[in-house]
Amino acid sequence: MHNVKMTSVQKEELMTNQPLSGKTVVVTGSSSGIGRAIAERLGAAGAHVYLSGRTLEAMEASKAKIEAAGGKATPVIVNMRDVKQVQGLVEEAERATGHVDIMVNNAGVSYPGAIADADPEGWREMLETNILALLAGTQSAIRSMRKNKVEGHIVNISSVAAQRNDSGVYGSTKHAVNCISGTLRAELENDTIRVVTIMPGAIATNFARNFEPAVVQGIVKMAGIDVEVKKGERLPDELFDSLPAALRNTLGAPDDIANAVLYAVTQPITINVAEIVVRPPRQLAF
């Protein structure tokens, strides 16, 4: 066998088209919505992506898409409320590839509604998924990055809800995410690890499945899709694929967030893109 050497032009083209070639990425909550878009975008940029979520079929579809684009993907079913499983996800990625370069803490859940009437179990799920899982995944990723001396990125998906002081229990978890991210930046100033906070506005995803059906039904009606909305149930993918142009000023697309993540993690390690807000021109307030 002959070793084929790449010319400088070919190397430059590879770096342009696949800037994450050779990188290992972990994306939580990647079986739908923003997480799925991020996983597919970073995979298409050449990374080996560890997708984690609850829906294997969706992650397998993303795996096929990533590999067709020249990346690699490994789907893993993970219960984000189990700290050991979250830690194990990062450890598995490191064990299989030798390093973890990018940790995207995307998994999140929202139970909107008045605090006086809410079910405390909903609060528990938000706290465990939105905060505790993020902390556990981040800690494991930092330990791996330090051990392997990589130039790493921790990407925390927060929300514009963190910019308001009346955004409920969900918003309070995102205030916590921003506070954790700021603390990590200070802790990691002397490491080659950068911390990025992405704050999406209203994005067309299944995240709204726990909102009041009347609110979601109004969006479905505007999209011209005939489907009954039931609280807590997954919304059909075709709903998001067929959103009319008129709604684009009100609801952003998951790809918008994925583009922001790719931009942030492909900057030189001497730069920290600390915070990015990505929202449609007209903001919905849920």
Q: If you write DSSP's letter for every residue of 17-41 in order, what string do you get?
A: H-TTTT-EEEESS-SSHHHHHHHHH
Residue 208 is predicted with a pLDDT of 47
Together in a domain, 151 and 233: no
Query: How far apart are the C-alpha atoms of 27 and 270, rounded to whole Å?
Result: 23
Specify whether 188 is located in the same domain as 199: yes
Residue 285 lies in a domain: no
Residues 111 and 64 in one domain: yes
216, 118: one domain: no
Residue 16 lies in a domain: no
Residue 267 in domain: yes
Percent with pLDDT over 90 in the chain: 72
One domain, residues 128 and 208: no
State how far the Cα of 28 lies from the Cα of 52, in Å rounded to an integer: 5
Q: Is 170 a catalytic residue?
A: yes
100 and 196 within one domain: yes
Whether 119 and 246 share a structural domain? no
Place of tokens 């139970």: 111
Residue 244 DSSP class: -
Rounded Cα distance between 246 and 264, Å, is 29
What's the domain count of the chain?
2
In this prediction, residue 253 carries a pLDDT of 86
Residue 273 lies in a domain: yes
Cross-strand bridge partners of residue 169: none
pLDDT score at 232: 53
The domain spanning residue 178 has which CATH number? 3.40.50.720
* 40 and 137 fall within a common domain: yes
Evaluate whether 252 touches 278 at the Cβ level (below 8 Å): yes
Q: Do 179 and 247 fall within a single domain?
A: no
pLDDT, tens digit (0-9, with 9 covering 90-100), for 170-217:
999 999 999 999 999 999 999 999 999 999 998 876 544 444 555 555
Give domain status of residue 13, yes or no.
no
Is 7 inside a domain boundary?
A: no
Q: What is the pLDDT of residue 207?
A: 47
Residues 143 and 272 in one domain: yes
List 77's β-bridge partners, or say none.
Answer: 53
- For helices 254-265 and 33-44, the axis angle rounded to 10 degrees is 50
Tokens of 53: 């979520």
Residue 194 lies in a domain: yes
- Predicted pLDDT at 44: 98
Q: How far apart are CA 103 and CA 47, in angstroms?
A: 12
Q: Give me the count of residues in the chain.
A: 286
d(CA 265, CA 56) in angstroms, rounded, equals: 26
Residues 133 and 259 in one domain: yes
Does residue 284 belong to any structural domain of this protein? no
Q: How are beta strands 102-105 and 152-157 bridged, if at all?
A: parallel
Residue 251: partners with Cβ closer than 8 Å, 6 or more residues away: 202, 203, 204, 219, 243, 280, 284
Residues spanned by the domain of 211: 204-251
Instruction: Measure the CA angle with vertex 125, ends 122 and 127; round to 5°.
Output: 110
Q: Are 65 and 46 contained in the same domain?
A: yes
pLDDT exceeds 70 at position 255: yes
- Summarised one tens digit per residue, pLDDT across range 136-164 is 999 999 999 999 999 999 999 999 999 99
